[in-house]
Amino acid sequence: MTAVDDFTTCGAALVGRRIRVLPVVTSTNDILKAEAETGAAVEGDILLAEHQTAGRGRLDRSWESPPGKSLLFSVLLFPGTPAEHLQLMGLMVSLGVQDGLGEYLRRTVPDAERYIRALRLKWPNDLMVGNRKLCGILSDAGVDGSGRGFAVVGAGVNVNQSLTDFPQVLRSAATSLYIMTGTEHRRAQLLKDMVSSIEMYYNRLLADGSSWIAPAWLERSGIEGQRLEIKVADAVISGICVGLNGDGAIKLGLPNGQVRIIYSGDVC
């Protein structure tokens, strides 16, 4: 297990300038959001936990995380965008997570490009290796005491788990860097690379606004023009991805010629 103190030096100029590490929490997103609402947390703060007892994925699904083997962190952002653009913050952070992971692998793993090419973004909030989940991202919105809107974006990255660390029901759907590469990894260095990349994208957001996020994510994902099946509630909707809208929702071209905008669902 990486020593707790190692993580405190992983920050950038704004994102992660304050990093706190707790051994056990309910959910890093929940705690950081509550602190932001009261002013106890400031822009760029990162809260990292070795273990979450009530970690959440999207749609309030539970997130399984054996102690000390994942990167479980949340970052507080003040993007200056409307609350309806919350999904864009998750897309932006996913770009930073993927870039940071690539930088880390290039420095630490032989034949890194082979692993980097296997990474793919899955709408709306996952980083996958083939059909197995490596990282999930969750965004929450709130307002601080002065009325400023904020976003808390949490990431859960599977780092050093072996297959048996996952519950039986998840073993065909999850993976880790250890499973990918056959070697254990330095979580602190991985966090540092991810934070550096997230900061680069956040600075662009602060300078240029958010209009570039959805197109950048779409280009990286490669899903435009692909036939997708998306589970929405109890229905499965099939169509051709014709892009994302400005909020990060997916635009699905239906067989009847209509385009449906989907804000939340599971790509099958």
Spatial contact of 119 and 106, defined as CB atoms under 8 Å apart: no
pLDDT band at 55 (very low <50, low <70, confident <90, very high): low
Query: pLDDT, tens digit, for every residue of 176-199?
Result: 999 999 999 999 999 999 999 999
Mean pLDDT score, 125-141:
95
**CATH architecture of structural domain 223-267:** Roll (2.30)
Which range among 9-13, 37-41, 159-163 shows the weakest confidence by mean pLDDT?
A: 9-13
Spatial contact of 78 and 150, defined as CB atoms under 8 Å apart: yes
**Is a pLDDT exceeding 90 seen at residue 38?**
yes
Please give the mean pLDDT across all residues of the chain.
Answer: 92
pLDDT band at 63 (very low <50, low <70, confident <90, very high): low
Mean pLDDT score, 92-101:
98
CA angle at 128 for the pair 51 and 136, rounded to the nearest 5°:
35
Higher pLDDT, 101 or 60: 101
Picking from 85, 88, 87, 89, the residue whose alpha carbon sits closest to that of residue 77 is 89
C-alpha separations of 116 from 79, 181, 208 in Å: 29, 11, 28
Reply yes or no on domain 4-215 having CATH 3.30.930.10: yes
**Is a pLDDT exceeding 80 seen at residue 84?**
no
Query: pLDDT, tens digit, for every residue of 193-245?
Result: 999 999 999 999 999 999 999 999 999 999 999 999 999 988 999 999 999 99
pLDDT band at 259 (very low <50, low <70, confident <90, very high): very high
The distance from CA 214 to its chain's CA centroid, rounded to whole angstroms, is 15
Positive or negative: CA dihedral 137, 98, 89, 214: negative
Q: What is the pLDDT, as a whole number, of residue 205?
A: 95
Which range among 39-43, 58-62, 98-102 shows the weakest confidence by mean pLDDT?
A: 58-62
The residue ranges of every structural domain in the chain are 4-215, 223-267
